[in-house]
Amino acid sequence: MTSHNDQPSPMTFTAAPALSGSVAVPGDKSISHRSLMLSALAVGESRVEGLLEGEDVLATAAAMRAMGADIQRDDDGIWHIHGVGVGGLLQPQEALDMGNSGTSTRLLMGLVASHGITATFVGDASLSKRPMARVTEPLSRVGASFTTSPGDRLPLTMTGACPAVPLDYTLPVASAQVKSAILLAGLNTPGITRVVEPIPTRDHSERMLKGFGADLEVEVQADGTRIITLKGEAELKPQNIVVPGDPSSAAFPMVAALLVPGSQVTIANVGLNATRAGLIDLLREMGGSIEIINAREVGGEPVGDLVVTASALNGVEPDLARAPSMIDEYPVAFVAAAFAHGRSIFRGLDELRVKESDRIATMATGLRAIGVTVEELEDGIIIEGSGGQPLPGGGPIATRLDHRIAMSFAVAGLVSRDGVTIDDMRPVATSFPTFTTLLQTLGAIA
């Protein structure tokens, strides 16, 4: 994991010629995590193709192995998972090392909550700063017990309840991770688990649970509130899954192609789930040319190829309701705004304060360091665009062990006068191990 290699790996990204070509981004991280977890709870063999083989997902695979699943990767890159069945998770013999992955940690806590086992979760320095109360609080209500480090942080030891108590829970904040943790706990809980979601978040868990045969229903009310009900003590059936390209990873070549003059880039096989596609909508509102071709459905998920052409962008003040559909893409959206004509105002982003880093503060500091005029707000940021002019550049940018911060400033370097230096590119391996290779393929790096 990132924390186990002690030497930072700085890198400078400099002005790029026009980008061109067709590339594919790694498999969707959210779907990759869930495909391993649900396959490990099905009886029989599931096959997963296109799995993201970054450190976060490999941490999930290692944890499911530690709890009894047989997980193998063949030479063709296809993963074979023989599951233990719902209720069949075994007591792990050692602490589960989650590295940098908040998603793995919170979702696996949901799984363990309704099994009669005890598990200890540990992580790297970045993950160990992230609060877990939003998950431990509802999971305590199903009967799980927790011993946490100060501030409800890792290292954390939990003991599941078997039988667990079915939960009827209204999400206080929009969080796909909290929703998913409660639904996963509900799989091995007798009775009906019910989650009320006032603001819709990514729905990969619901789609995949249905695909594996869980008895799950989603009711959408007139005001957009989603009520998700899951019948417990489920029997999951093995599946063959093809993981689409991760829209959060596609965000980086997409913004780079819009900003580097003369560029045209095709990004193949990108997941276009409406709960994840907010950045595409935002960039189009700003004037970005993004065409979706070859739209199709793969494994219950909408997929397409994106053709992105360099465009003059305008400042924007996006609707607050869009935040959940692009929460991980805001750092690179801030970079796009830095090159736009006019001012951009982003609000309603409290969630960014508790990601791998405080992404509002870290981005504001970094943008100032490369010549952008920004004002940090309690729940967002105001960015004065350069009107399409290259930014001065600079650095090294303090990325705070945050992969998305590192990649966002790498994109900024491609349209800078003097280049942008990233203090440490190691964290990029958690989600996008082929990031610099992909930029080379497009002609960005000599």
* Residue among 404, 443, 417, 441 at smallest CA distance from 339: 417
* Residue among 314, 315, 318 at smallest CA distance from 282: 318
CB 342 within 8 A of CB 385: yes
C-alpha to C-alpha distance for 302 and 19, rounded to whole angstroms: 27
With left for phi above 0 and alpha for psi between -120 and 50, is residue 366 left, alpha or beta?
Answer: alpha
Q: Which amino acid is at 310?
A: A
* Residue among 290, 408, 416, 385 at smallest CA distance from 16: 416
Point out the catalytic residue in the list 28, 124, 246, 328. Answer: 328
Q: Residue 319 catalytic? A: no
How far is the CA of 192 from the CAs of 105, 169, 359, 385, in angstroms? 24, 11, 37, 50
Residues in the chain: 446
Neighbour tally for 91: CB within 10 Å = 12
CB 215 within 8 A of CB 235: no
For the record, the structure tokens of 399 come out as 């990325």
* Backbone phi, psi, residue 366, to 5°: -65, -40
Q: Which amino acid is at 78?
A: I
CB 236 within 8 A of CB 212: yes
C-alpha to C-alpha distance for 403 and 123, rounded to whole angstroms: 15
28-46 core/surface letters (b: 16 or more CB in 10 A; e: else): bbbbbbbbbbbbbbbeeeb
Residues forming the active site: 328
